[in-house]
Amino acid sequence: MVRRYGLVVIAVVAMACVTNPATGRPQLNLLSEAQEIALGREADQQIRAEMGVYDDAGWQAYVTRVGMAMAKKSHRPNLPWSFVVVDASAVNAFALPGGFIYVTRGILPFLQSEAELANVLGHEIAHVTALHGASAYSKQQLTGLGLGLGRILAPERYGGVFGGLEMAMSLAFLKHGRDAEREADRLGVGYASASGWDPAGMVGLLSTLGRLSEASGSSRGVPNFLTAHPLPEDRIAAVKDLVTAEGPGAQTVDAAEFSGRLPGVVWGDSREQGIVRGREFVHPILRIALRFPDGWEISNSASQVTAQPAGEAQAAVVLRVVSNASGGPAQTARTQMARTQMAAAKLTEVSGGETTINGQRAYVGTYRGEQEVVRAAFIVAGSTTYLVAGVATSQAFGSAQGTFANTIESFRTMTQAEADQIQPFRVGQYSVRSGDTWTSIASSAAPRPIGPATLAIMNGATAASRPPVSARIRVVVSG
């Protein structure tokens, strides 16, 4: 039976091999082009909802123009290509099957020219044309098929390992392998060059990302682009060889024009997603604020804000919107909402009741799950109900519940005047003076939004260098 199971999987793999349109080689792919596009389009809606689209029509049009110029010269020009700047501060670029390409606004200040932007987009286009995402998805599906068959055909051999194995397989194929990255480098450099941009922009981009990785000092905080696009030591050398092979030509760099577009780009959190200032999260559009515990690391996305103690996974606090009902729910409805939502999360109420938090109506309760205990508050502010929840393992809840209570009690609303004063940091320009260093320039703003090493890298330099006197450099300024 086990042998038969293996033969079935091998047969499916054989039928799933197609000719890669970019390389001409056989490649695993279970998806037709129509299915690939449909899969990408569905995921695109989720990306836009989770990360948000950066509210700058000029940048959206610019990135689309550069991307479409290369997409039309790619191996799959007829895909419904889409290029979007997402409203995220992480340094990242990524692609979905079917032609959906994204760059974060966070990567823009670290690009030194239009040629570097073109090479970022060309690299992501290559992941699509070479079916890297579609192939990874197909591997996940085949792994699921194999596991499903294993349950039926060889339960005594495969029983008891599915949860961990399925998760491991999913993670294993989430990132592109080294061969796929090299292939995307080769194709992307070719797309950029064929479209009139200097392929050497890829060398500059990888050098910048490498310096960012070194400056981070650990895996925590490493730019997301490097997490998904690993940078082995020999990769830059290989890209240099590709650039040499492309040869010279009338190729666009446009460093000055690109830098001229950067002033005003949001740095860090945006007003639309809320802003972290020290320990406090403030949302000037929703007009709410929440203070997180000292030393906790805060992560902000379009859908929720989370915080955890540094280096620990025993406790966390979550803030998110759970209802936008006009006028806010009445007491009975609010209580029922709390109980229904927590029950849906397989949490049983231990205790709970109505209260007020800084003048706002709330239902606060303690809930127990199989392995965790939750202290949750459903707080009504205006027409919106917010969930502030502290989650901890059963063992850690006792020591964390005071922290959870203080965090919940810190929830407050803001006046319009206070909200209007909250502005994000933005990219600006500065003329270097005699005696300036990266440290002195970075330290001139309070609170300091950027460190000296990151400031140097943003300007295409190293922390050990000195900024050239009279040069116009990129800085981060208050909004």
On the question of pLDDT at 464 being above 50, the answer is yes
CB 387 within 8 A of CB 376: yes
On the question of pLDDT at 208 being above 70, the answer is yes
> Residue 81 contacts by C-beta under 8 Å, 6 or more apart in sequence?
67, 68, 71, 99, 101, 125
Bigger pLDDT: 449 or 252? 449
Maximum distance among all alpha carbons in the chain?
78
- The one-character DSSP state at 84 is E
Q: How many CB atoms sit inside 10 A of residue 416's CB?
A: 9
3-class SS at 241? helix
Per-domain boundaries in the chain: 2-261, 275-420, 424-478
Which amino acid type is present at position 406? N
User: Which pLDDT score, from 0 to 100, does residue 213 have?
Assistant: 80
pLDDT digits (tens, 9 = 90+) for 159-201: 333 333 333 233 223 466 777 888 888 899 999 999 999 998 9
Q: How many CB atoms sit inside 10 A of residue 45's CB?
A: 10
Phi, psi angle pair for 321, to nearest 5°: -80, 135
On the question of pLDDT at 71 being above 70, the answer is yes
3-class SS at 262? coil
d(CA 261, CA 276) in angstroms, rounded, equals 26
Across the range 339-359, mean pLDDT stands at 91
Rg, C-alpha atoms of the chain:
25
Across the range 204-209, mean pLDDT stands at 89
Which amino acid type is present at position 61? A
3-class SS at 290? strand
pLDDT digits (tens, 9 = 90+) for 77-113: 999 999 999 998 989 898 988 999 999 999 999 999 9
Reported confidence tier of residue 230, pLDDT bands at 50, 70, 90? low
User: Which pLDDT score, from 0 to 100, does residue 310 have?
Assistant: 81
Reported confidence tier of residue 365, pLDDT bands at 50, 70, 90? very high
On the question of pLDDT at 432 being above 50, the answer is yes
pLDDT digits (tens, 9 = 90+) for 274-314: 999 889 999 999 999 999 999 899 988 778 899 999 877 78
Please state which of the ranges 141-145, 372-376, 416-420, 475-479 shows the lowest mean pLDDT.
141-145
User: Which pLDDT score, from 0 to 100, does residue 29 have?
Assistant: 60
Strands 93-96 and 100-104, bridge-based pairing: antiparallel
CB 254 within 8 A of CB 115: yes
7-11, 62-66, 174-178, 345-349: which is most confident: 62-66
Q: Which CATH number fits domain 275-420: 1.10.8.60, 3.40.50.1970, 3.40.1000.10, 3.30.465.10?
A: 3.40.1000.10
Across the range 393-420, mean pLDDT stands at 95
SS (H, E, C) 322-383: EECCCCCCCHHHHHHHHHHHHHHCCCEEEEEEEEEECCEEEEEEEEECCCEEEEEEEEEECC
pLDDT digits (tens, 9 = 90+) for 47-70: 888 888 999 999 999 999 999 999
User: Which pLDDT score, from 0 to 100, does residue 162 have?
Assistant: 30
DSSP character string of 367-396: EE-SSEEEEEEEEEETTEEEEEEEEEETTT
User: Which pLDDT score, from 0 to 100, does residue 147 have?
Assistant: 35
User: Which pLDDT score, from 0 to 100, does residue 14 have?
Assistant: 43
